Amino acid sequence: MPAIQTHDLTKYYGDVCGVEDLSFSVEEGEVFGFLGPNGAGKTTAIRTLMGFQSPTEGTATVLDADITDTAALRRVRANVGYLPSEPGFDESVTGRRLLDYHGSLRGDVRSDELLELFDPPLDRRVGEYSRGNVQMLAIVMAFMHDPDLLIMDEPTSGLDPLKQEELLEFIRAEQDRGKTFFFSSHILSEVRKVCDRIGIIREGRLVELEDVASLIDRSGKTVRANIGGSVTAAEFEIEGAHDVTVSGGPGSADQASDTATGDDAPEIDGGEETTSVSFTYTGAYEPLLGHLLEYELLDLAIEEAPLEDVFMRFYGDHDAEAVVERVENGTDENGGDEDGGPGEDGHDEAQDAEAETADV
Amino acid sequence: MFETARFEGERRLTGSVVVALGLSAFAAMMVLIAPAILDEFDVAALTESFPPALVEAMRLDVIATIEGFMALELYWFGWLLVLGIYVAYNAASAIAGDIDDGTMDTLLAAPVSRWQVLFEKYLSLLVPILVVNVVVLVVVYAGTQLVNEPIAAVDLVAVHALSVPYLLFWGAFGMLASVIAPRRVVAEGVAAGALVATFLVETVADGTDLDWLGLVSPTRYYDPVAILTASDYNYTGAALLLAGTAVLLLASGAWFARRDVQ
């Protein structure tokens, strides 16, 4: 039985879409990362799963309890740890009193052990806590009853880098003890470190569901080449190349073109000059190197693409389905796609940011 | 069970003691100045110099006795209004405030039902209600003995005891405002505003053609002046207030169980 299963889970706030048609499952014992920018619907999904709000449509189960069955959900919450994105506590009491209180509500079998790792100043009032201390207190509360399933919303937020690392390490250790994790994040490096699978959510919809290893595989390599003479982006529209960027040498204005339309990609003049070409590549080495060797290759760097870039590929695009299709086919089909082109990146991102803030 | 009531009750203790001390100080002052004032009162002159409707509304006819004086100066104002608003206001922030500052999430993540959360938070309102009543009862009793203007102990106990259903009612009303209102300040405003409005309606409409308006005012069902000056205990009124309390609490629970906590 999956620890969490959702089927077309939809939540609207009036006319505003929180999440739409989310379908995924989190298997027992896995660490599932739920990725998306702020406002994408991560928190909405999590709060709906916790039963804080009822879904507009669709269903979901948490540890086999239907989230609309309040009594069943209440019972399984004894076995669920929850870490909110912005933990709120009564600020007039000490951390110790709060731990006692919440321990009495959900049981406390391991707070002593947890407090060695995450050590907020328990004898001070929570109102005097720094953000990091509040987060540590919330982490202790999420784990103190030793639940089998942990639902965490941006778990590392507010922690200093050292504590972030400790938390991720702790999550790995807990996974070894058989615990299941469902956590949201917008930070890819942490997801990459601990997650087995990730779901990427954007504007309330799941645009990708993938295990991390194959996502990194598919995310491919970043290729940067300096080539003598002038080339067009269209020339690098080889199979497996994405987001080809060409910039001219000194003297000519930098021109960037991507894969939107191969036909009218700008030509770069300047006979003797060098041209920088960079793109993400998801194919095998032979065809790539073969293609590159057709040019006067001055410099070449091939490195693993940062997951951030992959991530940007999901968000730099307006049409989520086209992105999924593109990634799944492992080819770039934007040349023939009406609205699939990422366009000028900066512009697109600004638009996305607007759309997403409206989405909160 | 009752972990939340205990936790919330402890939190309310400090505020309750402060309110108890404040009202005690006010009560003590009233008791101390009462003998001097009572000597100087000329009730006939007083009632003649004001319009009869106002005399009726302000109950000036009974002010010349220690019982009437304390009922009007302390209980009518201090209990019907001040303590009532304190309880309603605290109840109103109980749920809405926790939702506003995110505390409710941490609480609802535990295996507790919303009915239980609501009921236990409501229960914690007994702390201010009981602390203030007991402390001020002792102060008034001791004070009136001291200045040699004793009030019948039974009446004093009754005026405090019968205030409990009145205050419980406003606590329940505050809870309803708390679960329905979108934000804490709205809930607090609605709860305190409704209390003041019904208090004024009952005060103004009393004895006029609009007397029936006062029927919906909780103020009508707890009358400290009648208790202290005439030993007239309105048990029916207390029962009605308790019934209203139950209805409001059930409505609050039903609403809270269904609403989204955002």
Number of compact structural domains in chain B: 1
Domain span including residue A345: 221-304+316-357
pLDDT value at residue A357: 39
- Report the 10 Å Cβ neighbour count for B210: 11
pLDDT value at residue A315: 59
Average pLDDT score over residue span A66-82: 95
Predicted confidence (pLDDT) at residue B229 exceeds the cutoff of 80: yes
Q: A204 and A56: one domain? A: yes
Q: A231 and A212: one domain? A: no
Place of tokens 């959360």: B117
How does pLDDT run across A9-62, given as a tens digit for each residue? 999 998 888 999 999 999 999 999 998 877 888 999 999 999 999 999 999 999
Per CB-CB distance under 8 Å, the chain A contacts of B104 are 88
As a whole number of angstroms, the distance between CA A65 and CA A73 comes to: 5
Confidence of residue B1 (pLDDT cuts 50, 70, 90): confident
Confidence of residue B32 (pLDDT cuts 50, 70, 90): very high
SS3 A68: coil
Partner-chain contact B260 A92, CB within 8 Å: no
ipTM metric: 0.87
Q: A260 and A184: one domain? A: no
As a whole number of angstroms, the distance between CA A232 and CA B174 comes to: 70
Q: Which position has the higher pLDDT, A164 or A318? A: A164
Partner-chain contact A93 B3, CB within 8 Å: no
- Cβ atoms of B223 and B213 closer than 8 Å: no
Average pLDDT score over residue span A221-234: 87
Asked, for residue A252, whether it belongs to a domain, the answer is: yes
Average pLDDT score over residue span A67-77: 94
Q: A189 and A330: one domain? A: no
As a whole number of angstroms, the distance between CA A84 and CA A46 comes to: 9
Partner-chain contact B111 A87, CB within 8 Å: no
Asked, for residue A140, whether it belongs to a domain, the answer is: yes
Predicted confidence (pLDDT) at residue A253 exceeds the cutoff of 80: no
Average pLDDT score over residue span A221-249: 84
Q: A254 and A202: one domain? A: no
SS3 A197: strand
Average pLDDT score over residue span A180-192: 85
- What is the residue-averaged pLDDT of chain B? 91
Number of compact structural domains in chain A: 2
Predicted confidence (pLDDT) at residue B63 exceeds the cutoff of 80: no
| Domain end residue (candidates: A167, A191, A216) | A216
Interface check for A39 against chain B (CB to CB < 8 A): the answer is no
Predicted confidence (pLDDT) at residue A223 exceeds the cutoff of 80: yes
Cα dihedral A171, A173, A174, A179 sign: positive
Read off φ and ψ for residue A330, nearest 5 degrees: 70, 15
How does pLDDT run across B132-169, given as a tens digit for each residue? 999 999 999 999 999 988 899 999 999 999 999 999 99
How does pLDDT run across A101-156, given as a tens digit for each residue? 999 999 999 999 999 999 999 999 999 999 999 999 999 999 999 999 999 999 99
Interface check for B260 against chain A (CB to CB < 8 A): the answer is yes
Asked, for residue A98, whether it belongs to a domain, the answer is: yes
Predicted confidence (pLDDT) at residue B38 exceeds the cutoff of 90: no
Q: A232 and A163: one domain? A: no
Interface check for A77 against chain B (CB to CB < 8 A): the answer is yes
Q: Give the domain CATH number at A164.
A: 3.40.50.300
Q: A36 and A111: one domain? A: yes
Interface check for A47 against chain B (CB to CB < 8 A): the answer is yes
Q: A25 and A158: one domain? A: yes
Q: A320 and A190: one domain? A: no
Confidence of residue B110 (pLDDT cuts 50, 70, 90): very high
Contacts of A241 (CB under 8 A, 6+ apart): A223, A259, A279, A280, A281, A283, A288, A332
Average pLDDT score over residue span A215-228: 80
Predicted confidence (pLDDT) at residue A309 exceeds the cutoff of 70: no
How does pLDDT run across B179-227, given as a tens digit for each residue? 999 999 999 999 999 999 999 988 887 767 777 777 888 988 999 999 9
pLDDT value at residue A348: 39
- What is the residue-averaged pLDDT of chain A? 81
Q: A299 and A283: one domain? A: yes
Interface check for B261 against chain A (CB to CB < 8 A): the answer is yes
Partner-chain contact A93 B11, CB within 8 Å: yes
DSSP states of A264-286 as a string? TPPP---TT-EEEEEEEE-S-HH
Confidence of residue A254 (pLDDT cuts 50, 70, 90): very low
Q: What is the DSSP letter of A176?
A: H
Residues of A254-265 as b/e, b for ≥16 C-beta within 10 angstroms? Answer: ebebbbbebeeb
Confidence of residue A313 (pLDDT cuts 50, 70, 90): low
Interface check for B93 against chain A (CB to CB < 8 A): the answer is no
* Preferred mutation among B3, B100, B105 to probe A, highest tally of A CBs within 10 A: B105
Residue type, B247: V
Domain span including residue B34: 3-258
Interface check for B13 against chain A (CB to CB < 8 A): the answer is no
pLDDT value at residue A323: 47
| Domain end residue (candidates: A194, A216, A238) | A216
Task: Report residue A231 as tokens.
Answer: 């080339």
Q: A167 and A238: one domain? A: no
Partner-chain contact A53 B260, CB within 8 Å: yes
Average pLDDT score over residue span B51-66: 74
Q: Which pTM value belongs to this model?
A: 0.79
Q: A225 and A321: one domain? A: yes
